[in-house]
Structure 1
Amino acid sequence: MTADTPTPTTDDREPSLRNATLSDVTARRLPRPESITAVIRHHVRPDAAAAYEQWLQRIVPIAERFPGHRGVHVIHPPAGSTLYTVTIRFDSLLHADDWFQSAARHALLDEVLPMLDSDEEVKTVTGLEFWFHPGPGQKPARRYKQFLLTLCVIFPLTLFVPRGVQWLAGWVPALHDTYLSHFATSAIVVALMTYVLMPRITRHVAGWLYR
């Protein structure tokens, strides 16, 4: 990069907001951060499962070093299957593209390809779609089914998680702050949805979901 080349930036601050009136700020639309999830499927050769697990342990911390990285979740194959599903999240499509086009990832991909029975499958989705990614040969889940299943999971969480945070506030006084308690509640709900409930529930109801 030469001295005349501008440095790329992802700075989205707006200095004009410092002097904006209350009515101007109120009239603005709420920001909607972009969330990109890449769903990666690897059909691993049975004799290469151990080597593939070691490869996963290497690639995950490398991906975490890229800007905008928001987490990786590995769904191990059920009994009788060799299909690994890896979901990797970034805060923007540009940051996701930086990772997927990087020399580091291509080098790691060259390492893993001999361990696979077929080329890797990659699909980039936004929002809640990554919870409803059909398997090979399955139809995409209908929107109303996605809505019903998500509602059935979120409804009890929004009932019980706030109560749990209120109970926890007895030991953590900082949680009496309205904004902090709302943040804690949202973080717990999203974590439970992403890492605990939705991956398991969508597997259990796959016969209905993708029918």
Structure 2
Amino acid sequence: MDELGIVTLIVRHRIKAGQEDAYEQWLRRTTRIASTYPGHQGVNVIRDLDRFVCVLRFAGTHELQCWLDSNERRHQVNEVAPLLIEGDQTETDTSREFWFAPSSAVPPARWKQACITFLVILPPSLLVPLLWQPVFTRLPWLGGYVLSNVLITLSIVVLVVYLLMPKVTALFAAWLNPS
């Protein structure tokens, strides 16, 4: 384990039009291969139209370097090259926090991240409970304190992560970018 702890590899790909399905198949295969490497601690993928950002975490710099230097990764990068507009763009980071995928080595100011997060979470927090209310009325066993809160929270998280946050961060990208 590296003395710095978790090391993150950020991979950015811009996909040629019409190649999204082929890229997603490649991405599933590649992340599955990466997950077999010692020290792999997970992956997150953020998609915004023709751009994909993959955030892979490893236990330390040595473990990450083993993946970066591997023949498997080299083969996968060569295989995907014809699908990409701007090639394989990577950067590493030793911080553990990635609510926002930085476009540079300097992440957005925390207050800006807090503003965007509040802007994204507030509307579903007000609307989702109202949308669930008819279901809870019709099926009272779902309306108990714990189960209703689990369903509402799950709905909000899915909306924020898959629908709202990618669109809002793309919309405010210039404002979030510290440069």
Same fold, TM exceeding 0.5? yes
The alignment-based identity, stated in percent, is 26
Give the equivalent residue in structure 2 for 1:120.
89
**CA-based RMSD:** 3.8
Give the equivalent residue in structure 1 for 2:28.
60
Give the equivalent residue in structure 2 for 1:191.
158
Cα shift at 1:133: 2.4
1:109 aligns with 2:82: no
TM-score scaled to structure 2, two decimals?
0.64
TM-score scaled to structure 1, two decimals?
0.56
Higher-Rg structure is 1
Gaps (5+ residues) in structure 2? Answer: 1-6
1:180 aligns with 2:154: no
Size of the aligned set, in residue pairs, is 160
- Gap change, CA 1:70 and 1:183, over 3 Å in 2: farther
More deviation, 66-75/165-174: 66-75
1:121 partner letter: T
Gaps (5+ residues) in structure 1? Answer: 1-35, 78-83
Distance in 1 (CA, whole Å) between partners of 2:155 and 2:52 is: 23
Give the equivalent residue in structure 2 for 1:42.
13
Asked if 1 retains the 8 angstrom alpha-carbon contact of 2:45 and 2:52, the reply is no
- Gap change, CA 1:71 and 1:146, over 3 Å in 2: closer
Cα shift at 1:85: 1.9
Distance in 1 (CA, whole Å) between partners of 2:91 and 2:138 is: 44
Distance in 2 (CA, whole Å) between partners of 1:51 and 1:40 is: 18
Distance in 2 (CA, whole Å) between partners of 1:183 and 1:70 is: 24
1:42 aligned counterpart, secondary structure = strand
